[in-house]
Structure 1
Amino acid sequence: MKIGIDKIGFYTPHLYVDMNELAVARDIDPGKFTVGIGQEKMAIAPITQDSVTLAANAALEILDEEDKDKIDFVIFGTETGVDSSKSAGVYVHELLGLNPQARTIEVKQACYGATAGIQMAKGHIALNPESKVLVLGSDIARYGLNTSGEATQGAGAVALLMSADPTIMALEDKSAYFTSDIMDFWRPVYSDKAFVDGKLSNEQYIAFFSKVWGQFKEKSGLGLKDFDAICYHLPYTKMGLKALRTIWDEGSDNDKERLEENYTFSAKYNRIVGNIYTGSLYLSVLSLLENKEDLKAGSRIGLFSYGSGAVGEFFTGILQPNYRDHLYVDNHTELFQSRTAVSVSEYEETYEDTLPMDGSTMELDIDNDPATICLAGITADQRQYVNKRNK
Structure 2
Amino acid sequence: MKIGIDKIGFYAPHLYVDMNKLAAARNVEPEKFTIGIGQEKMAVAPITQDPVTLAANAALIILDEEDRAKIDFVIFGTESGIDNSKSGAVYVHRLLGLNPNARSVEVKQACYGATAGIQMAKGHIALNPDSRVLVLASDIARYGLNTAGEATQGAGAVAMVISADPKILALEDQSAYLTADIMDFWRPIYSDFAFVDGKFSNEQYVLFFKTVWEQYKTKTNLGLNDFEAICFHLPYTKIGLKALRTILEEASEESQERLLANYQSSTLYNRNVGNIYTGSLYLSLVSLLEQSEQFKSGSRIGLFSYGSGAVGEFFTGILQPNYQEYLYSEKHAELFASRTEVSIEEYEKMFQQTVPVDGSTAVFGSTNDPAPIQLKGIKDNMRQYENKTN
Normalised by the length of structure 2, the TM-score is 0.99
Query: Distance in 1 between the 2:227 and 2:67 partners?
Result: 31
Superposed, 1:34-49 pairs within 5 Å as 34-49=34-49
Name the counterpart of 1:92. 92
Aligned pair 1:22/2:15, yes or no?
Answer: no
1:294 CA displacement: 2.0
Aligned pair 1:121/2:129, yes or no?
Answer: no
1:366 CA displacement: 4.2
Name the counterpart of 2:368. 368
Name the counterpart of 1:382. 382
Query: Distance in 2 between the 1:325 and 1:76 partners?
Result: 26
1:148 CA displacement: 0.4
Q: Secondary structure of 2:302's partner?
A: strand
Q: Deviations over 1:36-65 (max 9, x none)?
A: 000000000000000000000000011111
Name the counterpart of 1:340. 340
Query: Distance in 2 between the 1:113 and 1:232 partners?
Result: 15
Q: Secondary structure of 1:302's partner?
A: strand
Query: Identity of aligned pairs, percent?
Result: 73
Q: Secondary structure of 1:280's partner?
A: helix
Query: Distance in 2 between the 1:60 and 1:366 partners?
Result: 22
Name the counterpart of 2:297. 297
1:295 CA displacement: 1.5
Distance change in 2, residues 1:53/1:33 (3 Å): same
Q: Which amino acid aligns with 2:30?
A: P
Which consecutive aligned stretches of 4+ in structure 1 deviate over 6 angstroms post-superposition?
Answer: none
Q: Is the 8 A contact 1:19 1:33 kept in 2?
A: yes
Query: Distance in 2 between the 1:93 and 1:293 partners?
Result: 35
Q: Deviations over 1:122-160 (max 9, x none)?
A: 000000000000000000000000000000000000000
Query: Distance in 1 between the 2:177 and 2:129 partners?
Result: 25
Q: Secondary structure of 1:47's partner?
A: coil
1:367 CA displacement: 5.9
Q: Secondary structure of 1:354's partner?
A: coil
Q: Which amino acid aligns with 1:244?
A: L
Q: Is the 8 A contact 1:366 1:376 kept in 2?
A: no
Superposed, 1:36-115 pairs within 5 Å as 36-115=36-115
Query: Distance in 1 between the 2:264 and 2:382 partners?
Result: 43
Q: Which amino acid aligns with 2:326?
A: H
1:195 CA displacement: 1.0
Q: Secondary structure of 1:209's partner?
A: helix
The aligned length equals 390
Superposed, 1:184-223 pairs within 5 Å as 184-223=184-223
Q: Secondary structure of 1:267's partner?
A: helix
Q: Secondary structure of 2:317's partner?
A: strand
The 10-residue stretch of structure 1 (302-311 or 355-364) with the greater mean CA deviation from structure 2: 355-364
Q: Which amino acid aligns with 1:125?
A: I
Name the counterpart of 1:239. 239
Q: Deviations over 1:198-227 (max 9, x none)?
A: 000000000000110000000011000000
1:166 CA displacement: 0.2
Q: Which amino acid aligns with 2:238?
A: K
* Structure 1: tracts of 5 or more residues without a match: none
Query: Distance in 1 between the 2:36 and 2:379 partners?
Result: 44
1:95 CA displacement: 0.1
Q: Is the 8 A contact 1:366 1:375 kept in 2?
A: no
Q: Is the 8 A contact 1:297 1:322 kept in 2?
A: yes
CA RMSD of aligned residues (A): 0.6
Q: Secondary structure of 2:348's partner?
A: helix
Q: Is the 8 A contact 1:10 1:58 kept in 2?
A: yes
1:77 CA displacement: 0.1
Normalised by the length of structure 1, the TM-score is 0.99
Name the counterpart of 2:147. 147
Q: Secondary structure of 1:272's partner?
A: helix
The 10-residue stretch of structure 1 (167-176 or 188-197) with the greater mean CA deviation from structure 2: 188-197
Q: Which amino acid aligns with 2:278?
A: T
Query: Distance in 1 between the 2:304 and 2:155 partners?
Result: 20
Query: Distance in 2 between the 1:340 and 1:51 partners?
Result: 20
Query: Distance in 1 between the 2:359 and 2:273 partners?
Result: 31
